[in-house]
Amino acid sequence: MQKRKLGNSNLEVSALGLGCMGLSHAYGPAQDRSEAIKLIRAAVERGVTFFDTAEVYGPYTNEDVVGEALAPFRDRVVIATKFGFELPSTDGKQNLNSRPEHIRQVVEASLKRLRTDVIDLLYQHRVDPNVPIEDVADTVKQLIKEGKVKHFGLSEAGAQTIRQAHAVQHVTALQSEYSLWWREPETEILATLEELGIGFVPFSPLGRGFLTGAINKDTTFDSNDFRNTLPRFSQEARDANQALVEVIGSLAASKEATRAQIAIAWLLAQKPWIVPIPGTTKLHRLEENLGAVDIRLTAGELNDINSAVAKINVQGDRYPSHLQKNVGR
């Protein structure tokens, strides 16, 4: 497995991480605990050293599973988790809370669930408009001094917020959505990260499964699958967005690769400090995703992808309005 460093920090991780959310949250029933642990350990055996979780996934259960799975390998892996929500949510909404005292409470609870004495990378899950980002960054700075956290990260933050936080405590990584069907980070975020020496950790690099070609307008999701609530996954949007899947598929066929591998390889080719974190519940999909690290896209192939994708108007917002308001702040 190839390694990458997140920005100009000394945090080196596998070129692909594993997003663990889907093992217990958002995409239907939680994976059987023993099977989830088995998958995480299979990733370690295949060279993955970067694992992403959060207290809100489950809530709480995902951190516990990740902690148990990685306990035997703790000195070989990097664990990222997140704070920033008021839990439990009683109204189904994302109620934000990044008050300093709450951050400390979350960190103490996360350390116990993760079975560790230090969190390698601690993200603010969403920017809280009611708490100055400088206060958030300073709280994490103190936690780093206390040895409870090693690195500070932000998730779905806007460029100005990133700069303000970075001025107080070095931001090691930004985690936000980025893929061939969501390229908004290219407008301002990537340049900001490059200037400041911050790594980028794209989540949903496969468009929540859509870019694999396994989803079409006739696909039905589990009643608990949150894609049912996303405008981009309406039946009409899925039908319209098949054009993007076809573009990826044509290149995949010529490279004797899968669509998923091309989508991930494209991301890896954008910057050497980008580390995608695709998630899966299946071993064969894990192995397929890891195979993307060995695919090299030529400059000509990258140009062809960009030219083809530029002609496609991807349909549907990525979040409903009540969630959309919490990103890009």
Q: Are strands 18-19 and 50-52 parallel, antiparallel or unpaired?
A: parallel
Selecting among 57, 60, 178, 319, the annotated active-site residue is 57
Residue 229 vs residues 30, 43, 142, 159, 304: alpha-carbon distances, Å: 18, 30, 38, 27, 33
Cβ pair 197, 175 in contact under 8 A: no
Q: Enter the DSSP assignment of 182.
A: B
Instruction: Return d(Cα 287, Cα 229) in angstroms, integer.
Output: 29
Helix (H, G, I), strand (E, B) or coil at 208: coil
Q: How many helices (H) and strands (E) does the chain have?
A: 12, 9
Active site residue 123: no
Q: How far apart are CA 271 and CA 232, in angstroms?
A: 27
What backbone torsions phi and psi does residue 302 show, to the nearest 5 degrees? -65, -40
Rounded CA-CA distance 277/16 in Å is 6
CB proximity list for 30: less than 8 A, separation 6 or greater = 23, 24, 36, 58, 61
> Taking the CB of residue 42, how many other CB atoms lie within 10 A of it?
15
End-to-end CA separation in angstroms for the chain: 35
The Cα–Cα gap between 177 and 86 comes to: 22
Closest CA to 55 of 73, 70, 71, 67: 67
Residue 307 tokens read as 């030219």
For the annotated catalytic residues, the residue numbers are 57
